[in-house]
Amino acid sequence: MPEQPATTLDLTQFSREPGESRTMEIDLYLPPIHLAGQDYGFVPDTVPARIALIFTGSGFNIEMKFSASLEGECWRCLEPARIDLDVDVQDFFEIERPPVGEMAEEDEASFWYEEDGTLNLSAWARDAAAEQLPSKILCDPECRGLCPQCGVNLNVVTCGCEPPADSRWDKLRELLD
Is the pLDDT higher at 94 or at 96? 94
pLDDT (tens digit, 9 = 90+) per residue, 155-166?
A: 999 888 887 788
pLDDT (tens digit, 9 = 90+) per residue, 16-57?
A: 788 889 999 999 999 999 988 889 999 999 999 999 999 988
Cα separation values, 53 from 7, 123, 174, Å:
16, 18, 71
pLDDT (tens digit, 9 = 90+) per residue, 113-172?
A: 877 778 899 999 999 999 999 999 999 999 999 998 889 999 999 888 887 788 888 888
Burial of 70 from C-beta contacts in 10 A (0-12 / 13-18 / 19+): buried
